[in-house]
Amino acid sequence: MAEQAYTVASDSETMGEEKSSSTVPEIAIGIDIGTSQCSVAVWSGSQVELLRNTRNQKLMKSYVTFKDEVPAGGVSNQLAHEYEMLSGAAIFNMKRLIGRVDTDPIVHASKSLPFLVQTLDIGVRPFIAALVNNMWRSTTPEEVLAIFLVELRVMAEMQLKRPIRNVVLTIPVTFSRFQLTRIERACAMAGLHVLRLMPEPTAVALLYAQQQQQNVHENMGSGSEKIALIFNMGAGFCDTAITATAGGVSQIRSLAGSTLGGEDLLQNTMHHLLPDMDNYFSRHGIDEIRKMGLLRVATQDAIHKLSTQPSVEIDIDLGNGRKIYKVLNRMEFEEVNQHVFEKCASLINQCLSDAKLEVDDVNDVILVGGCSNIPMIRNMVMGICKKDVYSGMNPLEAAVRGAALEGAVASGVNDPFGSLDLLTIQTTPLSIGIRADGNNFVPIIPKNTTMPARKDVVFTTVHDNQVEALIIIYEGDEKAVEKNQLLGYFKIMGIPPAPKGVPEINVCMDIDASNSLRVLAGVIMPGEQNPSAPFMEVRMPTVDDGHGWCAEALNRTYGSTLDLVTVQKKVQR
Amino acid sequence: MCCNSAVIIPRLDPCFSFLPTRPDIIPFPASVSFRIRTVFPLGPSKSIPNDTDQFSGSDPATLYDLLGIPETGTLLEIKQAYKQLARKYHPDVSPHDRVEEYTKMFIRVQEAYETLSDPRRRDLYDRDLAKGIHLAFSARRLFESDEQMEDKSEWKSRWQSQLSHLKKRSMYKDSGDNMSWGAKMRKQRNESS
């Protein structure tokens, strides 16, 4: 399976190289695939423009319906009513499902969606299906995303009157490299090549850098470094970033994120209105799906209204004498979702402390995303930062505009007026390391390391005459290794027999401009210049589904026989 | 500092550095160790002869030379120099045919910036420099290993205390077989006091 993932990427790569004959740089488009909404933008030669679909929409709902023979996505399809999206025939929220296994709590929370999310709780990909002619027709999040991306590509190609191949996609901060391969695979299925993947707040940061640069030009401002805190909360994810901007360069100082968003606010509120919701809907029959849709639409409506009014009346008739009538006020809504807001606040504080900055250092606070209108979110962000929110950008378009800017910059486009004299210096959102020192996670590239990066750490053997060592690569920030995301594993062979602690096993990781991770490892005996055996070079991730099992299986088979420990670095002069 | 000294050449193939078919961005040095680094020339004007001739190839200049600032440079100057060099060497903006070479430079510039923009690390580096040690990357590594040393000694003392505790327990176990619970407790109390 692991090899296959690669083949897809390599295939798409070869296609890309065949196409490199044109002399004009192909400008990559920016795509923001939101959990709930999606948009496309491109550098038009003088500015960023958002593309519209045939119904003149800039923001399109992210869903694919399998109702008819040909699946149709939110770009081309017109919904007769919102309930149509909730009939079970449409798959949405794919961004919350992609690259997750069926033991993941996020997948479990998705089981109350109208389409079918079936889990067997054994650590494999969940079964996802749409209701077509009273039958559950199976699909995958990658397939759904690919169908949607094809529609976006066709729409962009029609408007720009050229083939589209290269894209810059925005992604949540918390996405693991495994999830990124799923996104890349969906793009490959849609005939798109991912030029860059940008965590959403970093795309916003680039737009901010451009705006600051323009201000400097217009007002002859000082052009000194400005610190901005970006808080981006959409339907599926909540991400924060701190950027230091000067001279059009956005240097990301720290990133923090969580899988929390409007969907959680919605589900918490639905549970509040109908406490036995999960039981009530668990059968997933057609009648239940219809009732689920009623509750979902009514709750969504109520939450929207609570952004502008203090209380809202909810009146739902679920049939069979089951009625929900409630006046929900804002305070109650905030109480029900208290832990969500607390987590959001902790992300901001974490971001500040990771960047080694105080609240007073922040020049601008940027609040974007679909949840930015919720009073509690605004108050929380302004309360922590002791500042009003930056008003210079459209909260729903900022990320896609930033992605389009990066698309132009990374495609090598030059603007005579200097509007593209921009650079985004990205950092790693999660640590990458290996299992060592027993069952511990030892980071080699720590979180918030500037990319491209290259780091190495020296390890050694734990047994006398240990001739092999297992390198198991993880991504995450948990100390206990199994709580992190497994990326891959391989074995170093040919370690010359020696007492434990003598062989130097060098593990080096590098990340290039396109965020591709490579692990190099090998053994050097002390006093020698050359490696004892050829070094290994492995591109990550190599694991596919069932990765949880792989780590357990390795542990079962090898125990600690092929373990490694970190070496205290000796400073030799 | 909006001046842009970077030469931006439109790239022919925007997917120049994507996944597997791409050649290695950084070939692995033949001799791998934290202190022996492949060093890249900074251009003739910046290169100064190095007294530590164990380094093959070109010499490592000081981190100040790398950023092109004087040793008395302020934090602002360091930041400005870093951003200017980033605009030159970052793979998003570097010329298409020199991405690999420039990426290496970017990583060095980044390390120099990280060392010099952190007062503690800069101080350590300056002290090394004063002693005539021109290892471009030693200051940071030194700092890291100092930190690890602290960690390790703390860990070691904790481990030793656990070990002695365990030894004590196993001693009781051996000798306690014939003792009553009360006798064991009395013995333990006597020992621990």
Per-residue pLDDT for chain A (573 aa), expressed as one digit of tens each?
333 333 344 333 434 444 444 456 789 999 999 999 999 999 998 999 999 999 899 999 999 999 877 888 888 888 878 888 899 999 999 999 999 999 899 999 999 899 999 999 888 889 999 999 889 999 999 999 999 999 999 999 999 999 999 999 999 999 999 999 999 999 999 999 999 999 999 999 999 999 998 887 776 555 688 999 999 999 999 999 999 999 899 999 999 999 999 999 999 999 999 999 988 888 888 898 999 999 999 999 999 999 999 999 999 998 888 899 999 999 999 999 999 999 999 999 999 999 999 999 999 999 999 999 999 999 999 999 999 999 999 999 999 999 999 999 999 998 888 889 999 999 999 999 999 998 899 999 999 999 999 999 999 999 999 999 999 999 999 988 988 999 999 999 999 999 999 999 999 999 987 789 999 999 989 888 888 889 999 999 988 765 777 888 888 899 888 888 888 654 443
In 10 A of CB A122, how many CB atoms? 11
A324-333 long-range contacts (CB < 8 A, ≥24 apart) are A324/A273, A324/A274, A324/A295, A324/A298, A326/A273, A328/A269, A328/A273, A328/A302, A330/A306, A330/A375, A330/A376, A332/A272, A333/A269, A333/A303, A333/A306
Spatial contact of A430 and A509, defined as CB atoms under 8 Å apart: no
Q: Choose which CATH entry (3.30.420.40, 3.90.45.10, 3.30.565.10, 1.10.540.10) describes domain A2-12+25-196.
A: 3.30.420.40
Q: Is the pLDDT of residue B24 over 70?
A: no
CA closest to A210 among chain B residues = B2
What backbone torsions phi and psi does residue A425 show, to the nearest 5 degrees?
Answer: -105, 110
CA distance A114 to A92: 9
**pLDDT score recorded for residue A77:** 83
Q: What percent of chain B shows pLDDT beyond 90?
A: 23
Contact across the interface for B92 and A410, Cβ inside 8 Å: yes
Measure A27 CA to nearest chain B CA, in Å.
8
pLDDT at A514: 79
pLDDT in tens, A92-144: 999 999 999 998 999 999 998 999 999 998 888 899 999 998 899 999 999 99
Cβ contact (<8 Å) for A453 and B107? yes
Q: Are A497 and A482 in contact (CB under 8 A)?
A: no
Would you say residue B141 has pLDDT above 80? no
Burial of A159 (0-12, 13-18, 19+ CB in 10 A): middle
Collapsing DSSP to helix, strand or coil, A38 comes out as strand
pLDDT at position A282, please? 83
In the A/B pair of chains, how many CB contacts fall below 8 A?
A: 170
Q: Where are the domains of chain B?
A: 146-192
| Option in B3, B15, B30 nearest A530 (CB) | B30
> What letter would DSSP give residue B22?
S
Contacts of A22 in chain B (CB under 8 A): 12
By the CB < 8 Å criterion, does A361 face chain B? no
A567 touches chain B (CB under 8 A): no
A446 at interface of B, judged by CB pairs closer than 8 A: no
Alpha-carbon gap: B93 to the closest alpha carbon of chain A (Å): 7
Model confidence at B144: pLDDT above 50: no
Question: Which residue of B3, B18, B87 is in closest CB contact with A16?
Answer: B18
Contact assignment for A10 to B21 by CB distance below 8 Å: yes
Q: Which residues of B touch A416 (CB under 8 A)?
A: none
The topology under which CATH files domain A432-566 is: Substrate Binding Domain Of DNAk; Chain A, domain 1 (2.60.34)
Q: In one letter, which amino acid is A349?
A: N
Please report which helix (H) or strand (E) contains residue B158, including its range.
helix B138-175
User: What's the confidence (pLDDT) of residue B179?
Assistant: 54
* Shortest alpha-carbon distance between residue B80 and chain A (Å): 8
Q: What is the pLDDT of residue A322?
A: 87
Instruction: Compare A440 and B21 and report the one with higher pLDDT.
Output: A440
Output the pLDDT for position A321. 84
Q: How confident is the model at residue B89 (pLDDT cuts 50, 70, 90)?
A: very high
A251 shares contact with chain B (CB less than 8 Å): yes
The two beta strands, A504-511 and A453-461, are: antiparallel
pLDDT band at B14 (very low <50, low <70, confident <90, very high): very low
Contact A537 B110 (CB under 8 A): no
Contact A510 B93 (CB under 8 A): no
The ipTM of this complex is 0.84
Alpha-carbon distance of B33 to B24, in angstroms, equals 19
Residue A83: per-residue pLDDT:
83
Cross-chain CB nearest to A514 (options B9, B17, B107): B17
Q: Which amino acid, residue A507?
A: V
Q: Is residue B1's pLDDT more than 90?
A: no
The Cα diameter of chain B in Å comes to 87
Give A 507-566 residues with CB within 8 A of chain B: 508, 510, 512-514, 516, 518, 520, 522, 524, 529-531, 535, 537, 539, 566
Nearest CA in chain B to A405: B92
Residues A292 and A63: their CA atoms lie apart, in Å, by 17
Show me where the domains of chain A are located. Answer: 2-12+25-196, 262-336, 432-566
Asked if A421 is an interface residue toward chain B (Cβ–Cβ < 8 A), one would say yes
The third-level CATH classification (topology) of the domain covering A262-336 is Actin; Chain A, domain 4 (3.90.640)
Residue B139: name the closest of B166, B118, B153, B160 by CA: B118
At residue B50, does pLDDT exceed 90?
no
Q: How confident is the model at residue B151 (pLDDT cuts 50, 70, 90)?
A: very low
The pLDDT value recorded for residue A552 is 84
Beta carbons of B92 and A512 less than 8 Å apart = no
What is the mean pLDDT of the segment spanning B100-122? 92
Residues 169-208 of chain A whose Cβ lies under 8 A from any Cβ of chain B: 193-196
Q: Do A453 and B14 touch (CB under 8 A)?
A: no
pLDDT in tens, B97-110: 888 889 999 999 99
Q: Which two tokens stand for residue A445?
A: 């590239």
pLDDT of residue B191: 61
